[in-house]
Amino acid sequence: MLQRLLSNDLPRSRWLALLLAGLVLALALTPFIFPGVKALNVAAKVLVFIVLVASFDLLLGYTGIVSFAHTMFFGIGAYGIAIATNSMGPSWSALAMGTVGALALSFVLALVVGLFSLRVRAIFFAMITLAVASAFLTLASQLHEITGGEDGLTFKMPEVLTPSFEFSETPFLGVSLDGRLLCYYLLFSMAVVLFLALVRIVNSPFGRVLQAIRENEFRAEAIGYRVVVYRTTSAIISALFATMAGVMLAVWLRYNGPDTSLSFEIMMDVLLIVVIGGMGTMYGAVIGAALFLFAQSYLQDLLRLGSEAAVSVPWFSALLSPDRWLLWLGLLFVLSVYYFPTGVVGRLRAGAGSSK
């Protein structure tokens, strides 16, 4: 059963399987084993980024396309929910309309960008997507009446998804059974379904063609595959899944603005997560997102504890100052690339293969 769910794409490493199982179990039980608002927010963000990074890996890792417009589709999904709920009110129909409208817009934009750009060389395509994403960010910042401009949009969700809605007055395992809990498990379910769909796509005949194009697009063209059609289709599918990740983010935050879903910093985070987890391995999105977001969220807290513990050594305590967390995050990234050049998943799979 599990093999069919994973489309026969098994971890192929005992340690990788254990790590994935542990992460999935931790995400599934986060509300009960990691109490607190911060832990739940970090877990929800991990779920969102798993879908976003996996959709980007379909482009970069499986098709060999470098795109800097991926967060544009992420933002479209978030803005779709924000604009629809602001216009129609906090209803399920508003969520449905916002999602459908965002998917339609992403489809059109991905098709246009794909058809006009994927015939050029890789570096020029990357520059074109960067220009398109920058233009969209500027547009979202200036259309104040529609998008809220730089201030963004704050909106409400259906009552059943709000913390004020309680299913039971009696807590379960010390956790309140409210709308926030339901919202988290809605995100968890969406992340599982969307991730398994992406795994199915990359392991289908279509996915095999994409990998052939990545390895040698001229040979793929020579044996009869229309490379531009396959690459454009891959770009559209990737955009639609990124849009769904944006929908998930908006549903959780109940707010969206340019810096929340359209910033170039998010695009850089996605690239880092792909490299850390391993390109061309959907499982890399799960591990990379969990490791990166945990470090991003808790590194300052860990450095603060270390700085207080090393107060007797002033220079070392200053080095561990929480204000230097970006320095340590960069150092951790450099070390991860040095020791895991093919990502965590690639390294674990290679280790499992050499041990046989």
Mean pLDDT of the chain: 87
Mean pLDDT for 324-341 is: 80
Residues 6+ apart with CB under 8 A from 31: 40, 175, 181, 184
pLDDT band at 7 (very low <50, low <70, confident <90, very high): confident
For residue 76, pLDDT over 90 is answered with yes
For residue 354, pLDDT over 60 is answered with no
CATH number for the domain spanning 337: value is: 1.10.3470
- At residue 157, what is the residue type? M
Angle at 43 between CA 38 and CA 342, to 5 degrees: 125
Pairing of strands 255-256, 153-154: antiparallel
Which pLDDT score, from 0 to 100, does residue 314 have? 80
Which helix (H) or strand (E) segment holds residue 255: the answer is strand 255-256
Q: Which residue has the higher pLDDT, 184 or 221?
A: 184
pLDDT band at 63 (very low <50, low <70, confident <90, very high): confident
- Using DSSP, state whether 249 is helix, strand or coil: helix
Taking CA atoms, 102 is separated from 56, 90, 273, in Å, by: 18, 17, 25
pLDDT band at 167 (very low <50, low <70, confident <90, very high): confident
Q: Where are the alpha helices (DSSP H) in the chain?
A: 2-5, 14-33, 37-60, 70-88, 92-117, 122-142, 144-147, 179-202, 205-215, 217-222, 227-253, 258-261, 264-277, 282-309, 314-319, 325-339, 343-354
Domain range enclosing 141: 2-354
Render pLDDT for 206-220 as a digit per residue (tens, 0 to 9): 999 999 988 888 888
Q: How many domains does the chain have?
A: 1
Alpha-carbon gap, residue 17 to 22, rounded angstroms: 8
Which pLDDT score, from 0 to 100, does residue 116 have? 73
For residue 251, pLDDT over 90 is answered with yes
**125 within 8 A of 117, measured Cβ to Cβ:** yes
Percent of the chain with pLDDT over 90: 38
Look up the pTM and report it: 0.93
In this structure, of 24-28, 51-55, 125-129, 144-148, the range with the lowest mean pLDDT score is 125-129
Helix axes 70-88, 37-60, angle to 10 degrees: 130
Alpha-carbon gap, residue 326 to 233, rounded angstroms: 37
Residues 6+ apart with CB under 8 A from 197: 241
pLDDT band at 289 (very low <50, low <70, confident <90, very high): very high
**343 within 8 A of 279, measured Cβ to Cβ:** yes
Render pLDDT for 88-146 as a digit per residue (tens, 0 to 9): 988 899 999 999 999 999 999 999 888 776 666 667 778 888 888 999 999 998 888 88
The residue count of the chain comes to 356
Which pLDDT score, from 0 to 100, does residue 322 have? 79
Which pLDDT score, from 0 to 100, does residue 66 have? 85
